[in-house]
Structure 1
Amino acid sequence: MTSVLLADVRPWGGDAVDVTIVDGLISELSPAGSGGAADERIDGRGLLALPGFVNAHAHVDKSWWGQKWVSYGGEPTTQGRIAHERAERDKYGIPSVDSTKAVLREFVRHGTTATRTHVDVDLGVGLRGIAGVLEAADDLNGAVEIELVAFPQDGVLRRPGVLELLDKAAAEGATSIGGLDPATIDRDPVGQLDALFEIATRRDVGLDLHLHDHGDLGAFQYELIAERTIQAGLQGKVNVSHGFALGELPSARRADLVQLLGEAGISWTTVAPPASAPLPFREMRAAGVPIGLGTDGIRDLWSPYGDGDLLQVARGFARLHGLRTDEDLTYAVELATTYGAPFVHRENHGLTVGARADIVLLDAENAPDVLVRAPRREVVIAAGQVVVRDGELQV
């Protein structure tokens, strides 16, 4: 048994406490100065404490982070980006264990201790990308926990053999399998969804579906997914990524659809792109539709942007949705931390007894202050181990 005393920290900016950690889990919170003896003592210096950030939508296998600059090219459409990536990725060694590890290190440096990452599975890379992500994560000794989504970036039905790869990935440990714009990529929404739901049901894995289509076409696919989720008994195991159309619909249609999503137990992940329509997040909360935040791709052949800081995404969400009050600004931080728990299958993720000791310390007054300034992560603790100290990586 190993014990750590994290002394004098302020959870969410509240009263100072001592946090006792035993074997990587939080075992006790007590008033500051009252903590007992431990194998290791960390002075929290009265810093604000948050739970580790949860990146609910990433693509850590596709980055050229740490390599020379790659200029943007190709057509700026989903089909165009897919074609450009397929043509160029081998030149840059994508997927790469080293680049993946570099991105994961940036996640950790910014306080992310768990992520759900989509990993490309196609006829060119097979399952090699999944193996590379697992190797990169293993090299970081548990600093960031990984949940894998086997992702058919190049389509499902239009590429014979991809379904078999997804099935193999599910059999070999992927927590979820992905899908992509059934109507516009495969041009067969019923066929793609039937095939994916069959694998998910048979292999007892989740589904995480990229949906970029707008307007009525996007809404139609949400309805198909919700109906199949209920029929298959997969409530709580299906997620929609991006889902741009939801914020674009007329209010009555949107309200009916949000209720259907809630009944189907479907969750939603967003990267809060600035040009997108705001999500009806208050209606989604009321209907029980979980929302997670993610960084999406970071410096990859889709976009040169991104640095792995989920606080920047949370601030983007707040600005996109016009959040101003302390309560709403705190909610944006909660989306990046506590509310991310279901996306990495954690029942308890927070500064609470029994939770994995993933703790981020920042020099800030309160959660709204954290959001608007995104200050340096002074200390990051993952499963009771210090992985960032004075803003510098220790792994």
Structure 2
Amino acid sequence: MHASATRVPRLRRVTDLLISDVRPWGADPVDLLVADGVLAEVVPTGTAPRGAPAARRIAGHGLLALPGLVNAHAHVDKSWWGRPWESYEGAPGVQGRIAHERARRDDLGIPSVATTRAVLDQLVRHGTTAVRSHVDVDLGLGLRGIEVVREAAAAYDGLRVELVAFPQDGVLRRPGVMELLDRAAAAGVEHVGGLDPASIDRDPVGQLDGIFDVAARHGCGIDLHLHDGGELGAFQVELVVERTERFGLQGRVTLAHGFAVAQVDQVRRRDLLQAMGALGITMTTVAPLGSPQLPVAELDAAGVGLGLGTDGIRDLWSPYGTGDVLGIAWQLARASGLARDADLRRVVELATSDGGRFVGGPTHDLVAGSRADVVLLEAENPMDALVRTPPRRLVVAGGRVLHDDLS
């Protein structure tokens, strides 16, 4: 499907952009014709009418073309990227990192439009054309972080950015946070989030009932951080499954991290994944080193969509991160012991074409009618691109050139 050239009726007006001589997914060379932010035609190189009008032409020089990378789990509001080095301090664990972040973020002026733009610059440079970012919502910030990220993202014409109102400091244990989530949803945020309902709020039923009620009333999605492992985490997955069906939120709920799914035994995992797949519940991972990885083949078999994300990038939680989703894909493949071509290509699909489901795009591929999100790399095929993670030479989002290193 990825390799074939496709056509729609020949355009009668000037196209916005023509990218010639590129190899989608490593297949034969084609020309990509873009109009109104969409791939209007994908034709074998040299078959477009001579002199076909285009506002801008870019020679692809036979480079590998992939759909734009999708960062399905980011925190673009938290970073100190571009600022002086910050030493890693504070107590370990989720509670310790929350406390350290609350003590230091005002000193760093986080969130700010400047630091958020610095992070977005890194994402774009690495080929990201769509982002789902969690943004802290708490009693100290209110909804200011959402306003900051919206303003920063507005500078990138073509980049798709969806936000999750994220209660990093807990929900029920901080009276007033649920009301902030409700306000964020009423103001149009695409998703509301939650955090470890059992270990943070000590009331999984109460937190989940409240969050699902907010999402159902305002018609937004849910993206829930779930770090709790083993049976405690599995129990919370079951609670999420029950509420997804009860509130009619099929296809609109995501579990981030979900370490428990990788930790329980195979039979327990199969049952959880089948229940999730039946309701369209998706998962995202940042492929954390030192932890069992989510089993891609088992998620695929159960119909559970999986997205990849960078998590935080040089923030008060960790000094690591470059903003490269393809690097996260490499990490997932390597930590999972994947080596066969089909498995490596599958991981690239998770980072690109399959990722569209997480940021409002039902079709995210290099085919006519798809949004014009294109990344060019010097690689033989997707597998080669994954294991070498070469620099991105061209990044086009919604038909707009956001990064050009071809000259």
Could you tell me how far apart the structure 1 residues matched to 2:62 and 2:280 are? 40
Corresponding residue SS for 1:139? coil
Could you tell me how far apart the structure 2 residues matched to 1:52 and 1:262 are? 25
TM superposition score normalised by structure 2: 0.94
Q: 1:46 matched to which residue of 2?
A: 62
1:391 shift after superposition: 6.8
Corresponding residue SS for 2:66? strand
Could you tell me how far apart the structure 2 residues matched to 1:257 and 1:310 are? 27
Corresponding residue SS for 1:368? helix
Could you tell me how far apart the structure 2 residues matched to 1:24 and 1:175 are? 22
Say how many residue pairs are matched: 391
1:48-127 pair list within 5 angstroms? 48-127=64-143
Q: Which among 358, 382, 405 is matched to residue 367 of structure 1?
A: 382
Contact 1:20 1:35 in 2 (8 A): no
Q: Which among 12, 25, 35 is matched to residue 38 of structure 2?
A: 25
- Please state if 1:385 is matched with 2:395: no
Q: 1:255 matched to which residue of 2?
A: 270
1:2 shift after superposition: 4.4
Contact 1:215 1:249 in 2 (8 A): yes
Could you tell me how far apart the structure 2 residues matched to 1:15 and 1:359 are? 16
Q: Which among 341, 349, 356 is matched to residue 334 of structure 1?
A: 349
Could you tell me how far apart the structure 2 residues matched to 1:208 and 1:127 are? 17
Could you tell me how far apart the structure 1 residues matched to 2:98 and 2:237 are? 23
**C-alpha deviations, 1:104-136, integer Å up to 9, x for none?**
010000000100000000011111100110111
1:293 shift after superposition: 0.1
**C-alpha deviations, 1:282-324, integer Å up to 9, x for none?**
1211111000000000000000000101111000010121110
Q: 1:303 matched to which residue of 2?
A: 318
Could you tell me how far apart the structure 1 residues matched to 2:40 and 2:401 are? 17
Q: Which among 8, 11, 16 is matched to residue 3 of structure 1?
A: 16
Contact 2:71 2:308 in 1 (8 A): yes
1:265 shift after superposition: 1.6
**C-alpha deviations, 1:157-179, integer Å up to 9, x for none?**
01111011100100111100000
Query: Do the aligned partners of residues 88 and 391 (structure 1) sit closer, same or farther apart at CA in structure 2, a change above 3 Å counting?
Result: farther
**C-alpha deviations, 1:71-106, integer Å up to 9, x for none?**
001111000000000011000001011000000010
1:140 shift after superposition: 2.3
What residue ranges of structure 1 are gaps of 5+ in the alignment?
none
Query: Do the aligned partners of residues 126 and 391 (structure 1) sit closer, same or farther apart at CA in structure 2, a change above 3 Å counting?
Result: farther
Q: Which among 277, 296, 305 is matched to residue 290 of structure 1?
A: 305
What residue ranges of structure 2 are gaps of 5+ in the alignment?
1-13
1:250 shift after superposition: 1.1
Structural RMSD (CA): 1.1
TM superposition score normalised by structure 1: 0.97
1:125-136 pair list within 5 angstroms? 125-136=141-152
Could you tell me how far apart the structure 2 residues matched to 1:29 and 1:322 are? 35
**What's the % identity of the aligned pairs?**
61
